[in-house]
């Protein structure tokens, strides 16, 4: 099957598989899955992740109406900023904190894409949206460790709850229906790989601060 014929979702999954594996087994995600992350650590992570998630939302919204790919794929429910605001309010921590080096690099990547490449924004968003699959499971682990039964304080981690799987399947079907060229597909994969690298750098900053 040629590059042009392969589904975009398959290319993204296969093209980012090695980085996905590394990201899942890094210190911060591993501590979350093990239920070892404290509420204070989670709140600190929220503060950093809120910065770049809001920047990505804003960049996507700037281009969505004019870009057919973004318009077809990014619904308002997928904009993550409001979920972060809700969680930040729950933990009583401010949003205006100094970004770590990893977050600054992420912001630079988002800004460059905002200025010149809406398709890169979609690749970044794909990885963010796909991360909700694993995060849905992680949220269950943290609920158990912290003794909570609802999604209070964890909306940014598990925004869709029991609707996660059907919404992700809908996203992939819509993605695969887009008329991407071979070059656009390659660009999507490369932007997805950049997203994994940026997220791992942010996690390394957080792990260093915890240590």
Question: Is the pLDDT at 80 greater than 80, yes or no?
Answer: yes
User: Average pLDDT of 87-102?
Assistant: 96
Q: Rounded to an integer, what distance in angstroms lies between the CA atom of residue 193 and that of residue 184? A: 14
**CATH number, position 66:** 1.20.910.10
pLDDT band at 140 (very low <50, low <70, confident <90, very high): very high
User: Average pLDDT of 183-195?
Assistant: 98
pLDDT digit string, tens, across residues 149-173: 888 899 999 999 999 999 999 999 9
Domain of 104? 8-210
Please report the pLDDT score of residue 209 as a whole number. Answer: 79
CA-angle at 81, arms to 75 and 87, nearest 5°: 125
Percent of the chain clearing pLDDT 90 (strictly above): 90
Determine, yes or no, domain membership for 1: no
Determine, yes or no, domain membership for 24: yes
Please report the pLDDT score of residue 151 as a whole number. Answer: 81
pLDDT band at 1 (very low <50, low <70, confident <90, very high): very low
Please report the pLDDT score of residue 4 as a whole number. Answer: 61
Contact 69, 118 (CB under 8 A): yes
Determine, yes or no, domain membership for 2: no
Please report the pLDDT score of residue 211 as a whole number. Answer: 60
Tally of structural domains, the chain: 1
Q: What is the DSSP letter of 80?
A: -
User: Average pLDDT of 108-113?
Assistant: 98
């Amino acid at each position: 099957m040629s590059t042009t014929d392969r589904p975009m979702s398959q290319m993204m999954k296969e093209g980012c598989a090695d980085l996905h594996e590394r990201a899942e087994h890094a210190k911060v995600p591993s501590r979350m899955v093990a239920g070892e992350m404290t509420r204070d650590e989670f709140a600190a992570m929220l503060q950093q992740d809120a910065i770049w998630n809001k920047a990505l939302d804003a960049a996507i919204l700037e281009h969505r109406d004019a870009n057919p790919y973004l318009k077809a794929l990014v619904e308002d429910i997928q904009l993550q900023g409001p979920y972060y605001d809700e969680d930040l309010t729950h933990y009583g921590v401010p949003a205006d904190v100094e970004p770590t080096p990893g977050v600054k690099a992420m912001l630079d990547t988002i800004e460059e894409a905002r200025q010149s490449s809406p398709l890169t924004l979609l690749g970044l968003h794909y990885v963010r949206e796909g991360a909700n699959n694993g995060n849905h499971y992680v949220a269950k682990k943290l609920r158990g460790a912290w003794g909570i039964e609802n999604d209070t304080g964890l909306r940014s981690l598990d925004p869709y709850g029991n609707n996660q799987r059907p919404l992700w399947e809908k996203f992939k079907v819509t993605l695969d229906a887009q008329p991407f060229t071979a070059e656009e597909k390659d660009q999507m994969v490369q932007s997805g790989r950049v997203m994994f690298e940026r997220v791992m750098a942010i996690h390394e900053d957080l792990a260093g601060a915890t240590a």
